[in-house]
Structure 1
Amino acid sequence: MFSEEVFNAIAAAFAAMSLWEVAAVVLALAYLIFAMKENSLCWYAAFVSTSIYVFLFWDVSLLMESALQIFYLVMAVYGWWQWRKQGDTQSELRIHRWALRTHIIVAVVVGLLTLSFGYVLSTSTHAELPYLDSFTTWGAVVTTYMVTRKVLENWIYWIVIDGASVYLYIDRELYLTALLFVLYVVLVVIGFFQWNAIYKREQLES
């Protein structure tokens, strides 16, 4: 009986989801698949998907996530530009790694920003799950930049961020988006191994 009630509740939640969320999820999935293949079409899919999510997240009081989408819009344009060859003045961008020291600095900065913005949101706004919202937002800001620069470890960062986001979206009843991020966790693991293979091959060729 309990399992049937849970199933019915989930089915009702999915039925209540808007076509806008469906479109955003499909495009977000397309972004990741294209990114795994180093295809610049990923940035077109990202731009449209994030445009939709700006309003979806605001509507469910995830203020930092909504603001993050505006950042994504800018980064979609920047990423598209970075992934293109700039004539004879810039060589093609290749997958590379960051030093351990850089990762430590990034972790400290994201932690401080999470605590600072989480506190402000919890005391001054109607935001839900302010600290988790802040963590996924600032983590995604850094990691998205890493994608635009083709930093290999971006995929490892995404495992943590996407895993935390699953809980965030379930709490806000964005079930299809939560399911998308479960799939993201699987795909980013695959993406890491794909990029790592490319990285090793290019290191041997250089």
Structure 2
Amino acid sequence: MDVSAWLSLFKTGIAQTSIIEWIAVIFSIASVLLANRNNVLLYPTGIVSTLIFIYLMGKPSTGLYAEALLNFYYFIMSVYGWWRWQKNKENENAIAITHNSKKDWLITIAIATIGWAVFYLLLSHFTDSTVPAIDAFVSATACAGMWLLAKHKVENWVLLNISNIVAIPLLVYKGLVLTSALTVFLFIVAVLGYIRWSRLYELSHQKQQAA
């Protein structure tokens, strides 16, 4: 498919995008930009977008059931992250940005691997999903990334972008063109987020050493 055909598909998809999808996309953009700034408002904006995406992805006409479950997981983790932030807001170290430890990496890999297997089996045997393996992979790697985000780990951006790069063509295939464009944007923001969080970590580390 050439560039003009892709542009035509994109224009058609945008024209057919529902108001509710627009709302979900706008709140999702707000959430990821706030996450990039390490701002607590990333959680309430994320809660709004995830609730809408649960509905959109779970519709039989869309059939991305693992992504619907993923957005439910996002919802739970956003509530948890918001609660954790508020609980520890007076303790700077509790919300500090850090890198994965060896234990964190083992848990991250376990979440992604076990999550993929569970999602795939559920989608293959209990739904009419036409893309169980890919849908499961996108959701499992994103679950791992969201867990790391809630713990303020720099590597959350890596796992989220592994999920994003696979989700982009999947969403186009399913006709969610605006959401696929959002995912391209999220990919770029996640790259910038990784760079920013790495710098914030280095600054924090330098301050601790100087203290």
Q: TM-score, normalised by structure 1?
A: 0.90
Deviation at 1:113, TM superposition (A): 3.2
- Aligned position for 1:46: 46
CA 1:8 to 1:102, structure 2 compared with 1: closer, same or farther past 3 Å?
closer
* Structure 1 residues 81 and 108, CA gap change in structure 2 (3 angstroms): closer
Q: Is the 8 A contact 1:169 1:178 kept in 2?
A: yes
In structure 2, what residue type is equivalent to 1:24? Answer: A
How far apart, CA to CA, are the structure 2 residues paired with 1:7 and 1:193?
31
Kindly indicate whether the alpha-carbon contact (under 8 Å) linking 2:89 and 2:95 is maintained by their aligned counterparts in 1. Answer: no
Number of the residue aligned with 2:165: 163
Residues in 2 aligned to 1:101 and 1:86: alpha-carbon distance in whole angstroms: 22
Match of 1:22 in 2: 22
Map 1:1-206 to 2 at 5 A: 7-59=7-59, 60-84=62-86, 86=88, 91-100=93-102, 102-104=104-106, 106-206=108-208
Q: Deviations over 1:147-180 (max 9, x none)?
A: 1110111111112111111122111110000001
Measure, in 1, the Cα distance between the counterparts of 2:19 and 2:180. 15
Q: CA contact under 8 A between 2:44 and 2:78: conserved in structure 1?
A: yes
Unaligned runs of 5+ in 1: none
Counterpart CA distance in 2 for 1:28 and 1:68 is 14
Contact 2:120 2:136 in 1 (8 A): yes
Q: What's the offset of the Cα at 1:47?
A: 0.5
Name structure 2 gaps, 5 residues minimum. Answer: none
Cα distance between partner residues in 2 of 1:113 and 1:41:
28
Q: How far 1:139 sits from its partner (Å)?
A: 1.5
8 A Cα contact 1:82 1:149, kept in partner = no
Q: CA–CA distance in 1 between the matches of 2:36 and 2:5?
A: 38
Distance of 1:87 and 1:178 partners within structure 2: 35
Query: C-alpha separation between the residues in 2 aligned to 1:22 and 1:155?
Result: 24
Aligned 8 A contact 2:88 2:95 in 1: no
Corresponding letter in the other structure for 2:155: E
Q: Judge which range, 117-126 or 13-22, deviates more.
A: 117-126
Q: Return structure 1 stretches of 4+ with deviation > 3 angstroms.
A: 2-10, 85-92
CA drift of 1:107 comes to: 2.3
Mapped partners of 1:182, 1:108: distance in 2: 26
For residue 45 of structure 2, give the secondary structure of its aligned residue in structure 1.
helix
Distance in 2 between residues matched to 1:6 and 1:109, nearest whole Å: 35
Deviation at 1:71, TM superposition (A): 1.6
Shift of 1:77: 1.2
CA, structure 1 residues 170+76, in 2 after alignment: closer, same or farther (shift >3 Å)? same
SS of equivalent to 1:73: helix
Name which of structure 1's ranges 47-56 and 115-124 shifts more when overlaid on structure 2: 115-124
The 1:29/1:201 distance shift into structure 2, 3 A limit, reads same
Q: Measured at CA, do residues 112 and 41 of structure 1 come closer, stay the same or move farther in structure 2, by a change above 3 Å?
A: closer
- State the alpha-carbon separation in 2 of the partners of residues 130 and 115 from structure 1: 10
CA distance in 2 between partners of 1:88 and 1:42 (Å): 19
How many pairs are equivalent? 205
